Chain A
Amino acid sequence: MIWVDTLVQGILLGGLYALFAAGLSLVFGIMRLVNLAHGDLIVMAAYLILLLVTLLGLSPFVAAAIAAPVMYLIGWGLQKHLLNRTLGTDILPPLLVTFGLSIALQNALLEGFSADSQRLPTGAISTASLDLGVLTVGVLPLLTFGSAVAVIDGLNQLFYRTELGRAFRATSDDPITASLMGIRPGNIFAKATAIAMLVVTLAALYLGMRSNFDPNIGPARLIYAFQAVIIGGLGSLWGTLAGGIIIGLAQTIGAAINPEWQILAGHVAFLVVLLLRPRGLFPRAFD
């Protein structure tokens, strides 16, 4: 029974990693931009939620709802005024600029909030659980996983069923021809990053409620997110969920064997997938 529990916990943890990764996957899928500051933006959003919770005495969920539009605007401005300038045939500038942004964000958060670990106050929900007979599942992990599925499904609907989604795909295929259709690629990219920041806010909410955070944990979140995206196959959102679940499963199984192996097991799983399926589990047909 302990193994069933481990597997379920692993899958649910994968939901959190999928939330970390969904925004990264969206942005990469549309503009081939790997945002190395993605993890730090999650941490920044967590601090924004914390600030609203402590200053206004709101519940974390309400605070996240207020933080989301703020993050949306930050994402839009960031892409429009900084990251768009780095896009081009050379893949190095976006990496360098987002790496610099990552360091700047970490230091700004350190300056503003100190290196102390923080946590979002959760009340009863953090210990609430559902008794399923054979095993007991925490409400918060279940909520995280449900949110991840909802986010991935929502992004897929947006991508494949809306006019904006069509423009996302067209611009991703061929920005010059897209501009002949009256689409301004820079604005499309800004909207994509803005939407990614909405997902980042949700990821920050669950990160902050489930564990401690401090200004330096961003890069590790980026690595989990990046691994989930690569395992799933670049540009596939459901693949990203699968990638998150694989990392989550590997980590909990590793931890069940030996607590020291948790993080290592996740990285090993990533390397194994990379060896066997270098393009990920669900690569796009054309690339």
Chain B
Amino acid sequence: MSLLTTKGLTAHYGDFQALFGVDITLNEGETIAIIGANGAGKTTLMRSISGVLQNSPAMITLSGQPIGGLSADEILPLGLAMVPEGRRLFPSLSVEENLLIGTYGRKVDGYWTLEAIYDLFPILAERRTNPGTALSGGQQQMVAIGRALMSNPKVLLCDEISLGLAPVVIKDIYAAVPKIQASGASLILVEQDIGQAMKVADRVYCMMEGRVTLDGAPDSLSRDDIHAAYFGVSA
């Protein structure tokens, strides 16, 4: 059954319309990738789903419940967490505090605990007392992913987790994705790095100028289809 859906989702920044009726479905246990060039509306879509931007209630549903009108702090307890673009660790918190803040004010049961995160990313255990922002980009990304996992979300949104990282580091980060999938979470990966996303995703949505221009299983889409949907011109 579908865990998360957006239906005719629109979003505005002042007078500027960033999304024009986006329909996305995420089924239970599934991983979908959302790809597209800069400015395609991927991050706006993530900000809308996570509640940073608010919409009409019915435009977004989580487990059948309309959440479009809720704020981010109301959505998180319902089981949806986000790894924001640019990692956004809290500079005044240590690595461990950054992870712990993911469970603020709630008792959370589930697979993901501090130990499980350190098991997933052992380097973080060594750096637990360092300020989060003193780490390398890849390690910071691990903290950001761990922080979101700490709430044991049903749905995890990852906004450009490969952005600004060296290819070898991206490989390390993506090595964690199967383990996250195995823990039972459903994932939405937003990527410009199409190759990585296609490898782990069950389905792909391609966005351009605030609209979904293509969707399907990775192996059902040809290079030309993706090229056309991504750039708006055929190869």
Contact = CB atoms under 8 A, between A and B. Distances in A.
Contacts of B92: 169-170, 172-173, 284, 286
Contact of B147 (A163, A174, A181, A184): A181
A182 interface: yes
Interface in B91-128: 91-93, 97, 100-102, 104-106
Interface in A38-68: none
A169 B133 CA distance: 14
Given A166-B101, A179-B71, A182-B77, A173 B91 contact: yes
Given A169-B92, A173-B92, A174-B90, A179 B106 contact: no
Contacts of B104: 163, 166-167, 170, 181-183
Contacts of A173: 90-93
B19 interface: no
Contacts of B97: 166, 169
B101 A286 contact: no
Give chain A's interface residue range (CB within 8 Å of chain B): 10 to 19
Interface string A147-190: 00000000000000001001101101110111111111000000
Contacts of B198: none
**Interface of A, helix, strand, loop or mixed by DSSP:** helix
Contacts of A182: 72-73, 76-77, 104-106, 151
Contacts, number: 73
Given A181-B76, A181-B102, A182-B151, A169 B90 contact: yes
B82 interface: yes
A167 B105 CA distance: 9
Contacts of A179: 51-52, 71-73
B93 A170 contact: yes
A170 B102 CA distance: 11
A166 B93 contact: yes
Nearest to A177: B88
A31 to B, nearest CB: 14
Nearest to A173: B90
Contact of A180 (B82, B91, B106): B82
8 contacts: A169-B92, A169-B93, A169-B97, A173-B90, A180-B73, A180-B81, A181-B102, A181-B151
Q: Please provide the 8 A-B residue pairs with the shortest distance between their CB atoms, ordered closest to farther.
A: A182-B76, A179-B72, A169-B92, A173-B90, A177-B88, A184-B73, A170-B90, A179-B73
Given A179-B51, A182-B72, 5 more contacts: A166-B97, A166-B104, A170-B93, A179-B52, A182-B151
